[in-house]
Amino acid sequence: MSNVEISLKEIMTSIEGSLGTALVDYTSGMALGTLGGGKDLDLMVAAAGNTDVIRAKTRTMEHLGLTGEIEDMLITLGSQYHIIQPLKGRSGNGLFLYLVLDRTKSNLAMARHQLRRIGAEVDV
């Protein structure tokens, strides 16, 4: 099993309320791995769409002259949380983790912490 598969499995099993997760290359918009999801949560479509989100925010930060890196982005829906978390470090350059949580079953602060911890261990 690859490091990507192990990391995605850890996200799904250790973060309460996880509905689906993906590791995405935001230079191409392609998911390098997905786990979970379903007919109402197409992770391949979400990967491509969230690539546009992260590119737009990066471009906006450049136009505004903002320094620093994006820690994560949160999209709050009525029944879900969507977290986009760029990976840091040499092997994570150009990649982000995407996590969808059931809002009623998850702890957002803990999920962000766990996702950051797991993301630091991803080696592609």
Q: What is the pLDDT of residues 104-123, one digit of tens each?
A: 999 999 999 999 999 998 88
Mean pLDDT of 56-79: 94
Give the per-residue pLDDT at 31. 95
Give the per-residue pLDDT at 90. 58
- Using the structure block, give the residue that is written with the tokens 């786990």: 35
Q: What is the pLDDT of residues 8-62, one digit of tens each?
A: 999 999 999 999 999 999 989 999 999 999 889 999 999 999 999 999 999 999 9
Total-model pTM: 0.93
Q: What is the pLDDT of residues 85-101, one digit of tens each?
A: 999 865 567 899 999 99
Give the per-residue pLDDT at 81. 98
Give the per-residue pLDDT at 45. 95
Q: Is the pLDDT of residue 7 over 90?
A: yes
Give the per-residue pLDDT at 88. 82
